[in-house]
Chains A and B, each alone.
Chain A
C-alpha cells in the first residue's frame, strides 16, 4: 500500500498511543489527542489499537497510489482504487483520525511512532509526502468501549487549593468556557470567567495531562499530550481521565461546562 498527501491544512500528524515511561526525561506522553477516536478508526479497518494513523486537526486530502482500505473514526471502511482521492475534515469536531488497513509505516523512535513536535520527532504532514503501509496483521474487530455522550466534563478538584481565592472553584463549575482557536496539542486554552488566584508563590511542580493550569490572567489551560512535564502555574483541578477525549473533541470556538468532585470523599461541589 502507498498513499500520497495531496493537501494538509492545520495540525495534521502521524499519531499512535504515545510514549509513556519517559516523563522523568521531561518527555511528555504524546500520542493521539483523543485516544478513543484513534482506536475507533483503527478498529474500523481491523488494525491493532496502537497502529499509527493520521490525526487531523484541520483538513487532509490523500490519494491512493495502490488499492487500499481506509476508515475514519466516524465513517465505515472504504476501499480506494489507485488514483482515488479521500478527504478528511475534523469538522464539526476538533479532531478526526484516518486509519489505513495495515497501519501507516513510521519509524519507531523512543518507543513510539507518533509525531511529538515538542521533542522534534516527526513533523506536520505536507503535500507530496508519501506513506507506505506497515503491513500489520488483521485483528478481529472488537466493540468499542461505551463513551459518555453528554453532560459536563468531570473534574477532580485540586491539588493546589491554596493558590485560589474562595469561590474560584464555584465559578469554574458554574460558568461556560469557550475553547480558544490558539489551542494545540500542548494545551487547550479556555476563555471565560477568570479564576481568582491568591498570592501564593509559584513553584515548578509535576504536571499531568488534563490538568487545568491557571496562569496569572486566571484563564485555565487544559494540558494536552505534549504538555511540559513540570510547570509553575497552579492547578485548580484535573479532568477525569475518562472525560479527556470528550473535552478534546470539542471544536475550536465551541463551549464546555465542568462539574467537580472531591476525589477523597466524592462530595460534589455543586
Chain B
C-alpha cells in the first residue's frame, strides 16, 4: 500500500503515481475534503479544508494506490503557439556550452513540441518538458536576482516562460511577444497543454 507523510495538519504528501499531472489533479480533487492539489516532479500534495481525522487517513493508502490507474488522456491538452524572439543574454553561453551555434540553439528550441508537465515556483509558471537533449544544461551556479516577465529560459530537459519579474536560475535564451503569461483570467498555460515556440 502506498505511503504518505503529513505536510502539517491539513495536507499530505506522497510519491507521484505514474500519471499525467492533470489526471492526478482531477483524481485527487475528487477526494473528500480536498481543496487543492500540487503535482511536482516526484511528489503530489493534497490540501484539506480541515484537519482530517483518523478514519479519513485510513482511506488514503488505497486512494493513492488507485491513482496509478486513474483515467488519463495525455492528448487532452490544448495546442498553443507562442511567438518567440531569440535574443536572450545567455544565448552565446548556451551555444558554447552545448557546442552548437546560436542559430542552431534557436532552431532546435523552436523545432520541439513541449508539454506542460508541472506548475510551480510562481503563479502560472509552467515547466515545459520535451527540451531536445542537445540543449540540456544544469542550472546557472548563481541565480539572477531579476528575470523579466516573458523571458524564455532553459534548464535540464525543460524550458519555461517567466510569467512575472522574479529571481531565476535558468539560462535565458529569448522572450515571448504579444502575450501575458498570467492575467485576470489566470495562467495562459495549463497542465497538459502542448506548446510550440514560433519565431
> Looking at the complex, which one of B6, B164, B183 makes contact with A158 (CB distance below 8 Å)?
B6
Contact A229 B9 (CB under 8 A): no
Of all chain A residues, the one with the shortest Cβ separation from B123 is A119
Docked complex Cα distance between A235 and B11 (Å): 13
Report B1-43 residues with CB < 8 Å from chain A CB. 5-11, 13, 21, 25, 35-43
Report B38-54 residues with CB < 8 Å from chain A CB. 38-45, 47, 49, 51
CB distance from B166 to the nearest CB of A (A): 9
Q: Known interface pairs A24-B38, A156-B6. Does A119 touch B182 (Cβ–Cβ under 8 Å)?
A: yes
Q: Known interface pairs A24-B25, A204-B120. Does A118 touch B164 (Cβ–Cβ under 8 Å)?
A: yes
Contact B35 A230 (CB under 8 A): no
Of all chain B residues, the one with the shortest Cβ separation from A154 is B9
Residues from chain B with a CB closer than 8 A to the CB of A110 are: 184-186
B129 interface hit (Cβ, 8 Å): no
Report A145-170 residues with CB < 8 Å from chain B CB. 156, 158-159
Of all chain B residues, the one with the shortest Cβ separation from A24 is B25
B153 interface hit (Cβ, 8 Å): no
Q: Known interface pairs A121-B184, A156-B6, A158-B6. Does A24 touch B119 (Cβ–Cβ under 8 Å)?
A: yes
Of all chain A residues, the one with the shortest Cβ separation from B22 is A24
B187 interface hit (Cβ, 8 Å): yes
Number of interface residues of A (CB under 8 A): 39
Mask, B161-193, CB within 8 Å of A = 1, is 000100000000000000000111111001100
Q: Known interface pairs A26-B121, A110-B186, A208-B45. Does A156 touch B37 (Cβ–Cβ under 8 Å)?
A: no
Docked complex Cα distance between A110 and B49 (Å): 19
B8, B45, B120, B185: which has the most chain A beta carbons within 10 Å?
B8
B124 interface hit (Cβ, 8 Å): yes
CB distance from B194 to the nearest CB of A (A): 17
Contact A238 B186 (CB under 8 A): no
B114 interface hit (Cβ, 8 Å): no
B125 interface hit (Cβ, 8 Å): yes
**19 A-B contacts, Cβ less than 8 Å apart?**
A23-B37, A24-B37, A24-B39, A24-B119, A25-B124, A110-B185, A118-B123, A119-B123, A119-B124, A119-B182, A156-B6, A203-B41, A206-B7, A206-B11, A206-B13, A229-B38, A229-B121, A231-B120, A264-B6
